[in-house]
Structure 1
Amino acid sequence: MAALPKRIIKETERLVSDPVPGITAVPSDDNLRYFHVTIDGPDSSPYSSGVFDLELYLPDDYPMCAPKVRFLTKIYHPNIDKLGRICLDVLKDNWSPALQIRTILLSIQALLGAPNPDDPLANDVAEDWKQDEKRAVQVAKEWTEKYAKSKEIATTSTTEESV
């Protein structure tokens, strides 16, 4: 395997030494271009109680092209499809080599807080969002409860069971 570019090493070190609040990105032991990511749902969003698993991969031509990112946790969101693919401008046409992994992850977290049904990837969800936003938000909350391990559960200790 080719040596990892200095840029990827620096970005990885910064993610570890100066983590983004509510986001973790840990490189895989097998492939340092592949990251296991968790993003906490933003407060005051339908996703606020959830912790979402994602995968991020840095292709060989990174940073000249965008990282590949997708949700592994099932989510009800107009800009994220059933396969976990994300419709986000900085992952497509607005990618710039000046952007970094942390910037992309912050943009994804912001997208959770501001769904955009006018630029959908999941057309059915976008239609629901446009026709009855209140109901769509309720479904998003239910899916978050069901599929995204909640922050409360993730931080609860299991020592009570040893009584």
Structure 2
Amino acid sequence: MAIPKRITKEIGRLVSEPVPGIEAKSHEENIRYFDVTITGPVQSPFEGGAFKLELFLPDEYPMAPPKVRFLTKIYHPNIDKLGRICLDILKDKWSPALQIRTVLLSIQALLSAPNPDDPLANDVAQNWKEDEQGAIAKGTLAPWSASREWTQLYASN
């Protein structure tokens, strides 16, 4: 089966115009499957981590969103213990105008700005909500000590 031009073009752009903090490589044997590494954003509890993800483009892509999940364990309200991600553009807000690059940038942004009001991991979201004032007062996300700890344990190089 031939690979659509769009996928070939998107892969070429990912290689020729890499996104800072994101590395995505397609498999030679299945060009629809990608190994992704996202570096934890600066001034987030994930700073210093290198998070492995897998991304798969279904046959319906770009009419259907890519399937993406974290392989590295992460303590985040919008990512569950199976690595599934609660992100609107991966579900009901998907548009064929979006690209692999856009999806990866959105996931990187989610690491910088977790949304405990739309959680996938309710226990993590509750912990964040209970200590939000401490996070704001310190000017960092330091109260997310579990996130920092998990980043050191599971996402350090």
What TM bracket, shorter-length normalisation? over 0.9
**Structure 1 residues 100-115: aligned runs within 5 Å:** 100-115=99-114
Q: Distance in 2 between matches of 1:77 and 1:12?
A: 28
Uncovered stretches (5+) of structure 2, i.e. residues with no partner: 136-141
Deviation at 1:123, TM superposition (A): 0.7
Q: Which has the larger radius of gyration?
A: 1
TM-score (normalizing by structure 2): 0.92
Of 137, 145, 148, 1:141 maps to 148
* Contact 1:64/1:97 (8 A) holds in 2: yes
Q: CA deviation at 1:136?
A: 5.3
Letter in 1 for 2:124: V
Match of 1:127 in 2: 126
State the alpha-carbon separation in 2 of the partners of residues 128 and 149 from structure 1. Answer: 23
Moved over 3 A (4+): 133-136
TM-score by length of 1: 0.89
Tell me if structure 2 keeps the 8 A contact 1:25–1:36.
yes
**Structure 1 gaps, min length 5:** 151-163
Please give the secondary structure, in 2, of the residue aligned with 1:61.
coil
Q: Would the aligned equivalents of 1:80 and 1:87 in 2 still touch at CA under 8 Å?
A: yes
* Corresponding residue for residue 23 of structure 2: 24
- Work out the CA distance in 2 between the residues paired with 1:49 and 1:61: 35
Contact 1:15 / 1:25 at 8 angstroms: preserved in 2?
Answer: yes
Structure 2: distance between partners of 1:10 and 1:72: 26
Q: Which amino acid aligns with 2:150?
A: W
Task: Find the counterpart in structure 1 of residue 75 from structure 2.
Answer: 76
The aligned runs of 1:56-95 (5 Å cut-off) are 56-95=55-94
Q: Structure 2: how far apart are the matches of 1:37 and 1:100?
A: 15
In structure 2, C-alpha distance between the alignment counterparts of 1:106 and 1:100, rounded to whole Å: 10
How far is 1:131 from its partner? Answer: 1.3
1:137 deviates by 1.0
Equivalent residues of 1:66, 1:91 under 8 A apart:
yes
* Match of residue 3 from structure 1: 2
Q: Distance in 1 between matches of 2:113 and 2:129?
A: 14
SS at match of 2:98: coil
**Distance in 1 between residues matched to 2:4 and 2:28, nearest whole Å:** 17
Aligned length: 149
> For the residues of structure 1 that align with 2:98 and 2:143, how far apart are their CA atoms?
32
Q: Check conservation: 1:50, 1:144, Cα contact below 8 A.
A: yes
Q: Cα distance, 1:15 vs. partner? A: 0.3
The residue that corresponds to 2:138 in the other structure is: none
